[in-house]
Amino acid sequence: MFKTRLLSQEEVKKLVSMKDVIDAAEKTFRGMGDGTVVNPTKVGLDLGETAEFPPYEGFMNAMPAYIGWLDSAGIKWAGGFLGERKKRGLPYITSLILLIDPKIGNFRAVMDGAYITNMRTGAQTAVALKYLHPGKNLKLGLFGAGMQGHTQTMAIAELFHIDEVHVYDISPEASRKYAEDMKDTVQGKIVIAKTPEEAATSADVVVCVTQSKDKYVKDAWIKPGGILFPMGSYQECEDAYILNADRIIVDHVGQCLHRGALKELSEAGKITEKNIYATIGEIVAGKKKGPGPSSERTLCIPIGTGAMDIAVASIALKKAEEKGIGGSYEFA
């Protein structure tokens, strides 16, 4: 009865550029601030990431959303797996996105979600920085030189002149590859940091995209005016920085208190909703002030929302329809 468009990762790649993704992310943040986006807290299926059973060292998150400015709805089902997946040399993230027409419920598209996840995660940081970091130039400290490190850099370079990147990865090989891959993207120089401290203290903006559980970023490393983005699934910075930062800004209050950087302190009752200064959406929508005084240190956590995925996927579908790209299938 209805046709569903099918888009592979290769096709999605050709359809959306980082510029498109940043634009979609900014409008969707604004919609979140304005209240025209519906984004329930994601529901996780623990396949051994933290649970003892089953033993697969993975998880899947269900992230449904409705986006007002696109009048589009859908879900991303995405997860990360170590274990068998890593052994097979497959990328950490696995994901598909489904889009429906919210008016009548038909499925409009099924597409790869891994590429969109990586791109929008970068774009979220870049959009947050647009409203939090004064001026066009910045020095970036980057922890994690993998796929996410690449897309974070690509997104930030789209909106800023990156004077310096100080990259640190536990694998020096990964850092070298990053430096090679990103040399045309980064406007200034790329320095492979010898120590984590060097990467953090040389920068105004520190982005962490690692799977570390070590709380390795020290409170003392972030200088006045500095902004830390701990994007990993676990806590990447010391408790002290979370407790001492002048402002905490998140993308989704419910999610950020139960996953990632704030989880432990939130569960211990040391961080509550009251400690959160604003959401990125409120700042983009102009409801809360963006850049703070230059003496203030900011903790910004765009942990990732389904809203961003559905927004970008909807743009990809729109372009695919215009250009006649992708397969088509009648499921019912």
Partner 1 sequence: MTALLITQKEIGELVSMAEVIDAVEKTFRGMGEGSVINPTKVHLDLGDGESGLPYHAGMNSMPAYIGWLESAGIKFIGGWEDNPKKGLPYISGMILLVDPRDGRFLSVMDGTLVTALRTGAQTAVALKYLVSEPRNPVIALYGAGAQGRTQAEAIATAFKVKEFRVFDIKEEASRIFAEEMTAKLGVPIRVMDRPEDAVKGAHAVVSVTHARNKFIKNEMIGEGVTVCPLGSFRECEDELILSVDKIIVDHVGQTLHRGALKDVSESGRLVEEDLYGTIGEVVAGKKKGRENSKERILCIPIGTGAMDVTVATLAYRKALEKGVGKEFPFI
Cβ neighbours of residue 61 closer than 8 Å, sequence gap 6 or more: 42, 43, 44, 45, 76, 77, 78, 79
112 scored as a contact of partner 1 (CB under 8 A): yes
- Binding piece for partner 1, criterion CB under 8 A, among 61-69, 185-193, 201-209, 230-238: 61-69
**How many binding residues for partner 1 (CB under 8 A)?**
54
106 scored as a contact of partner 1 (CB under 8 A): yes
Q: Which is nearer to partner 1, 102 or 292 (CB)?
A: 102
Among 27, 42, 120, 297, binds partner 1 (CB under 8 A): 42
Whole-number minimum distance, CB 50 to partner 1, in Å?
12
Q: Which is nearer to partner 1, 6 or 265 (CB)?
A: 6
Residue whose C-alpha is closest to residue 121's, from 312, 319, 320: 312
Q: Are 199 and 140 in contact (CB under 8 A)?
A: no
Binders in 6-25 for partner 1, by CB under 8 A: 6-9
Binders in 62-101 for partner 1, by CB under 8 A: 62, 64-66, 73, 75, 77, 79-81, 83-85, 88, 90, 94, 96, 98, 100
268 scored as a contact of partner 1 (CB under 8 A): no
Whole-number minimum distance, CB 34 to partner 1, in Å?
12
Whole-number minimum distance, CB 217 to partner 1, in Å?
29
- The angle subtended at Cα 304 by Cα 250 and Cα 129, nearest 5°, is 55
179 scored as a contact of partner 1 (CB under 8 A): no
Whole-number minimum distance, CB 262 to partner 1, in Å?
20
Binders in 180-199 for partner 1, by CB under 8 A: none
Q: Which is nearer to partner 1, 88 or 136 (CB)?
A: 88
- Binding piece for partner 1, criterion CB under 8 A, among 38-46, 214-222, 228-236, 279-287: 38-46
- Binding piece for partner 1, criterion CB under 8 A, among 59-67, 180-188, 215-223, 289-297: 59-67
Angle at which helices 18-34 and 306-323 pack, to 10 degrees? 130
Q: Which residues of 245-279 are buried (b: 16+ CB within 10 A; e: fewer)?
A: bebbbbbbeebbbebbbbbebbeeeebeeebbbbb
Burial class (CB in 10 A: 0-12, 13-18, 19+), 101: middle
Whole-number minimum distance, CB 71 to partner 1, in Å?
9
Whole-number minimum distance, CB 332 to partner 1, in Å?
4
307 scored as a contact of partner 1 (CB under 8 A): no
**Rounded Cα distance, 42 and 99, in Å:** 16
Residue type, 75: I
Q: Which is nearer to partner 1, 5 or 27 (CB)?
A: 5
221 scored as a contact of partner 1 (CB under 8 A): no
> Under the rule (CB under 8 A), what is the footprint of partner 1?
1, 6-9, 38, 40-47, 51, 53-54, 56, 58, 60, 62, 64-66, 73, 75, 77, 79-81, 83-85, 88, 90, 94, 96, 98, 100, 102-107, 110-112, 114, 327, 329-332
